[in-house]
Amino acid sequence: MAGIRDSLIDLEKHRLQLEQSVVKLRTSLQHWQAWEIEYEGMREEILGLRPGHTEAELVCVLKDIWKNNTQMRNRKTSAKMLTNSVHLQAKRLS
């Protein structure tokens, strides 16, 4: 009888661990879904630039997005990452 009880206790522990993992995964998924929405908005702004735009125009658009987006501003994303992203996007779009 003790063996069955121990097995049930272990099973319950594993069930609780799985529930905790599901909560963490859902939270992570929501985080990445929010980032995807932000990325798509930024992508649309960039693709909306006129053909032959300058890198300075791209930087200006990204700065406006950065300024107006509270979630991005509240996240601790460095200016260097933004600058690198601008240069990378400029290369891809040209």
Q: How far is the first Cα of the chain from the last one, in angstroms, to the nearest whole number? A: 72
Cα 80 to Cα 65, 87, 92, distances in angstroms: 16, 11, 18
Is the CB of residue 41 less than 8 Å from the CB of residue 34? no
pTM of the model: 0.53
List CB contacts of 72: < 8 A, sequence separation 6 or more. Answer: 38, 65, 66
Q: What is the mean pLDDT of each run of 10 residues along the chain (94 residues)?
A: 83 92 92 86 82 83 76 56 60 56
pLDDT of residue 24: 92
Residue type, 7: S
Return the structure tokens found at 21. Answer: 């993992």
